[in-house]
Each structure stands twice: as structure tokens, then as C-alpha cells.
Amino acid sequence: MNNHYRKFSLVIVVLSILLGSANAQEQPGVRERAQMLLNQYSYANAATLIQKLVDKDNPRLKDLENLALCYRNMNDFEAAETWYSRVIAMPESSAINLLYYGEMLKANLKYAEAKKVFSDYSAKVGLTPQVALQLAGCDSAITWMANPLPYQIRNETGVNTPLSEFSAYPMGKLVYFTGEPENKGLNRTYGWTGNSFLKIYASMSDMEHNLTNPVVIKSGLNDAPFHQGPLVSDKSQTVFYVTRTYTGSEGEVGKAGKRKYKTSNLELYIYTKNKQTGTYQVQPFAYNKPKEYSVGHASLSSDEKTLYFVSDMPGTLGGTDIWYSDLQSDGTWGKPINVGPSVNTAGNEMFPSVSETGTLYFSTDGLPGMGGLDIFSSKGNKSNWTKAVNLRYPVNSAADDFAFFTTGPTPDGITGYLASNRKGGQGSDDIYTFNYSRPKIILALRGVAFNKKTQERLSDVTVTLSKDGSGIVAKKINEQDGTFFFQLDKESDYKVLGTKIKFYADSAMLTTKGLTKSDTLYAELRLEPLFEEGKTLRLANIHYDFDKDNIRADAAKILNELVRTMRDNPTLEIELASHTDSRGVDIYNLDLSQRRARSVVNYLVSRGIARSRMTAKGYGETRLLNRCSNGASCSAAEHQQNRRTEFTILKY
């Protein structure tokens, strides 16, 4: 089932696995247990088992495909990309795997690489409309990321969790949003994810639109047993339009492998509040038909006489479309009308919102975009709209971006909220604040990339700028003279990273905190060539807990760069070496370093690198870099210099 459509439906897993009775009597093997978990959509547990099946010299294609599928559905696109790179390298691999690989490259902001893979897919099966859309999106995304618009995007960490939060809607002094409550075994759960059913929350908001103190609202707005939300209201905060999941027993039954699932459609409900008693009169929207189609994601026009919503009712142009109903003289809503092809496409349109100025904002996967759902805008009303315009980067990303809602104009632009499951967030779907404004002071970064060995300027380097330890701000290929340039925001920490095939990446850290006037910062990136056999490169800041050999989270982030280097250079073979300082018993240090080196290899294997390309070697204290041998009096810093992890190129 399409991941985007799952944002507009509820999948309840039916507890009936269609296995033969004879098989039920047998103890299944690893592959059979993994398939059972796949049938149950338990991708994380399935991946753990499949890892054992592929950690060999000649793994089965189907096992590699299933492992890539697991990571794709877990939204671990980095790992999925690596596994698909191995899948497509197998001669018997189907052309469809090129399409999946291209989608993962695109999800990881590798638009130029994705474009090549999509073109390879087209050469095999022909240029389908889906691939033409992907190619156009790649071309646009490359331009947009190199020239980001002046939006400030901030993750609302005061309300976001590892679960899902989205559709922030201001109402008076509060902001209402939809989220998954933490499941402590007390709540009913959504079968597809195992998380609690969505509920409506309220949060405080300060002058800067920071959201804090979220609580599940206790009023009748959360009266449904399944998913509840999103929500919008009229200006008097008396009439609320709430999306709910149909609670009846009928539903569309589908089949995935040997497992059945039931799709329960969505309905729109109208809650009218009695301000004296605080109770609600609840009635379904007149055009709900949950046994046939979904209705939800409501938005009112500024004059409150037109209700926009999303549905896949008959007459829909694609998967889901935006429709509208006019308010009648008797207070009822008129027959739904499709807003038309200026907005609706053969894909899925969702999450409409209409600003005070009459601009329609919505998300779709049916127009060229950066990733999954992209946010677009159009001007007009009812079924008369201008051509939809992509809001570009950084409003849009390689992930799903949706639920764009403006809170008011500023002298230079607009402010509001959006939702996204982009990299650098707190977990699944997160709420972000956006602010479109021109900076009062101009801050910039100018840099140069060099070949570390020859000291010559290096061109065709992919330079990525990340902000505040989270998401990517901009990405571009540097100039032929090795230079690159980015605009910066004030009071922010940045990391700039340079990568190039046949080179090991380099990065630099910088900050604009404390700068009170316009300035241009400078950075140099020195990339080490990889093609020299016998060359040794040190992996900085690979730390272990005392007397432990497990890979810590901070070390994993550094090792992921080595994973990318190994993936992007498929002929590279290395020795991974671990070293200790001289403290402790010599033979124990040798064993500890061997275990640590093996842990590094195991980590890279778990991220998709073939074990045959790596050798683990622990040297203990036999290769000290300084005078700090047994009995020498040395500082902690001197001992730290000897505790290191390195890799040596064996073959390229």
C-alpha cells in the first residue's frame, strides 16, 4: 500500500495468517521466521534475522531484496540505499530494483545519482509517467538545494517525540495538533505501526510560536475509538471539523503475501460546541460514505462559506483529490465538487489549507518534487485555481512535507507551521515552525576544496551544509576552481561536508553565534585520495566505553561516513585496525583491540557492506604513536592519541 495513502487511511491487520497446518507443526527456520515477520509488517525484527542470511559470500537475491525492503519501510533510507546498491549489482536483479534504488538515492538527497538510476530504469522498461515525474523532480531539486529560499525552519522540540505529530492549528492562545500518545500498554493500538491511535492535543504557544506543554485534550473532541484528527474550526471556535476513522465492521480487505489486512476509511465529523455547558453536538458530514471511500482533512475558506476537504470518492482524478462544498442558505453543505486539474493530479493530493489571503496550500506526490509529498500553493477559489507552484527548499525536503498552515503575515513574508518526517527530526512526523523573512545582517560561508595529497584545488566535490546538528540546509557541486559559497543564518552552528568518489570525505565546523554585523566566514576542505594501496587513514573520535567493544551511538555516526565511502567505491577493500594505549596487560589489550576491530567490521556489515571486503585486526599497544610505552609517565591526552581506529587500503 502506498505510504502516502496511509496518511489518509487506517490499516488494521486481521489476525489470520494463511499457513498450512503441516507447516504449523514444524519449527520454522531463519528464512521462514523472517518471512512470517515480513507478513506481519514487523520490519525491524525481520531485518535482524535476514542479516544472518546475507552475511555470506554469495547471499540470495531474494534475501537482499527483503532486507532492503525492511529498511525502506523503516524509513532508514541510508541503509536501504546500501542494500539496494548490492541488489542491483546482481546479474539476475529485476529492473524494478533500479526504481527502488533511485527512490532511496532521492530520499538521501542524491538527486544527480538518482537521475542516472532512473534513466537506467527507463532504458530497460521505457519512460513511464512515474519515472518522468521522478526525473523532473531531480532536476528541480538540484537547483532548489543549491539556491534555498530564505525560510527559517525550526523543529518544535517542545512537542515532538519519536512518535508522530502533525497538523498544527492555532486557536486562540492554544495550538491544536494531531499526535500519537505514548503506548504504555494502556491504549488501543494501530495495527500497522503498533503505536497508539492518533488523538488531538493542545499546546501552549509563545510570541515566537514555540510550542510547549502538550496535553491530550479531554473534551468530546477525542471521543472516537480509533484515529482522531486533524481538526479545524470556524473563527468563533464553536464549530469544529474533525477527521475520524470509520468505526464500523465493514471495510476493504486486501492481502499482502499470506496476510490479510482491512482498510477502514476516514470520515469527517462536525462538532458544534455549546459554550454554556461545554458539550458538543456531533453529526457526520452529509457526504461521508465510509464503506466506499474516505473523506477528511478539512479546511474553511476565510469567509467560512466554502469547505475544502480530501476524498477518493467517485470522480477523483488520482489516488486522493481535493474537493469543496458550498454553504447553503439553510446551513447545510452542498454537493461536493472537485477543485479541478489545476490542483488535482493522477497522484495523491492531501492536507489543504486556505490562508486569510485566499492562497490554497496543499501536499501532493503527483507533481515534480523533492521527495515524497511536497507542499504547493495556488491562488483562486472553488474550481478556479492558478497553476500549482512548488514551495521549494527548505520548506520541502526529500521526505514527506505536508500540513502547511500560515499564522499570519510579516513585513517580509509569512509565518506558520508545517509537518515533515525529514532527517534531523525527533522521530516520525514532526511539527516545524517556518518563518519567511529577509535577514537584517548578511552572513555567508566561502570555502575551497583541496586534494590533501597534491594540495591542488579540487572540483566536482559535493558540498553539503548542515545546521545545528540536524537537517541539511543546502547542497551543491563546487565550482571548477574548487570554491563554494553558502548564505548563513545568525546564531547557528554549521557543519560543511565535502565528498567525492575516490576520495575520503572531509568536514569543517563553524558558527555564526555572537556575530552582530555582516560577515563572510571561510572554510577549507581537504579530501584524501583513496586509490593508494597501503595508505592508512585514521577515523577520528571513535570512542568506546571503558573495557567495552560495542559501537556507541556517537561512533556509529562517524562510521556511517566510512559506510558511504565503501558503498560509493565498490572495489575498495580495507583492513580495519584498532589500537589501545599501553595501560593494562599487553595480552588483554591485544584481545580487546581485536574485539573492537571486529565490532567495527560487524557494524559495517550490518549497514550493507560485504564482510569479504574487510579484515579486522587488533594491534593492542604494539603500534604506539608516541613515547607512552609501558611505565612511561604520560598525560591523558598523550594516551588518548594512541587509542585509535584506522583503516588501511588493501585493494582498490
User: Per residue in 449-470, pLDDT tens?
Assistant: 999 999 999 999 999 999 976 6
Q: Which residue has the higher pLDDT, 234 or 531?
A: 234
Q: How far apart are CA 241 and CA 448, in angstroms?
A: 54
Question: Is 403 within 8 Å of 418 (Cβ atoms)?
Answer: yes
Reduced to 3 states (helix: H, G, I; strand: E, B; else coil), residue 238 is coil
User: Per residue in 475-519, pLDDT tens?
Assistant: 999 999 999 999 998 889 999 999 999 999 999 999 999 998 999
Spell out the residues 6+ positions from residue 190 whose beta carbon is closer than 8 angstroms to its own: 10, 12, 180, 196, 197, 198, 226, 227
User: Per residue in 122-168, pLDDT tens?
Assistant: 999 999 999 999 999 999 999 999 989 989 899 999 999 988 899 99
Q: Using the predicted structure, report yes or no on whether residue 188 has a pLDDT greater than 60.
A: no
List strands edge to edge, sheet with 321-326: 295-300, 306-311, 321-326, 337-338
Q: Using the predicted structure, report yes or no on whether residue 182 has a pLDDT greater than 60.
A: yes
**Which pLDDT belongs to residue 222?**
87
Tally of helices (H runs) and strands (E runs) in the chain: 11, 36
Q: Using the predicted structure, report yes or no on whether residue 192 has a pLDDT greater than 80.
A: no
Q: How far apart are CA 556 and CA 29, in angstroms?
A: 31
Task: Determine the Cα angle at 423 with ends 191 and 184, to 5°.
Answer: 35
The confidence band for 431, taking pLDDT boundaries of 50, 70 and 90, is very high
User: Per residue in 324-382, pLDDT tens?
Assistant: 999 999 999 999 999 999 999 999 999 999 998 899 999 999 999 998 899 999 999 99
User: Residue 399's CB: how many other CB atoms inside 10 A?
Assistant: 21
**Which pLDDT belongs to residue 546?**
64
CA 611 to chain centre: 28
Closest by Cα among 517, 532, 493 to 652: 532
Residue by residue, DSSP assigns 593-610 as: HHHHHHHHHHHHHHTT--
**pTM score of the predicted model:** 0.81
User: Per residue in 97-111, pLDDT tens?
Assistant: 999 999 999 999 999
